[in-house]
Amino acid sequence: MEKVLAGSEILLRPLRPSDAIDIYLNVRHRAISRYTENIPYPYPRKAAEKFIAKSALAWKKKEGYAFAIVSRKKAELIGLISLNKVDWKARRATIGYWLGKKHWGKGIMSAAVRMALQFAFAKLRLNKVEATAFEENRASNRVLQKAGFSHEGTVRQHILRFGRLHNINQYGLLRQEHSKRHK
């Protein structure tokens, strides 16, 4: 299976052990972990190495597909995007992502999501991709809406993060909806 996806500004490729330092330097800021469920803050130095090892294993077992988002111009890792919790019976997976702060607001994640969806539907032949976003994470809600996801509901006061309970928006995109948009 082709593992490198190329866009005009970015590439998506599987993680390598040498990515640990770039992941650490980008992800350790509170602005990144703030609206995520699983990224620890403060971010431990060894966490990126562990994440990369876990991702390689998940890829091998067909349980998850994590990609580095690489800027083509600078040839550097600027973020991550992944398809997780792959359920092969229902042919469904969950998409998650983050981008280094200095790269925000340039349409990069919208492009990365488009590429990851192409991989999910065309290569993995999934039927549904789901996603969640904290209700107050305007950028992430917008990324998902722009990519064609439907808001399927809001789970109220669901996640405790930094001492506060947050409402979580649940999104889904079906194979048939994706193919209609990309005819």
Q: Contact positions toward ligand COA, by CB under 6 A? A: 32, 35-36, 97-99, 104-110, 133, 137-140, 142-143, 146
Q: If you search the block for the tokens 């209609």, which residue do you land on? A: 180
Which of 108, 180, 125, 119 is CA-nearest to residue 150? 180
Q: In terms of CB distance, is 20 or 33 closer to ligand COA?
A: 33
CB of 161 to ligand COA, least distance (A): 11
Q: In terms of CB distance, is 81 or 86 closer to ligand COA?
A: 81
Q: In terms of CB distance, is 104 or 162 closer to ligand COA?
A: 104
Q: In terms of CB distance, is 32 or 126 closer to ligand COA?
A: 32
CB of 146 to ligand COA, least distance (A): 6
3-state secondary structure of 68: strand
CB of 137 to ligand COA, least distance (A): 5
Q: Half-sphere exposure of 109 toward its Cβ, with a 13 Å CA cutoff?
A: 23
CB of 102 to ligand COA, least distance (A): 10
Is there a contact between 98 and 109 (Cβ–Cβ < 8 Å)? no
3-state secondary structure of 74: coil
**CA–CA separation, 169 and 155 (whole Å):** 6
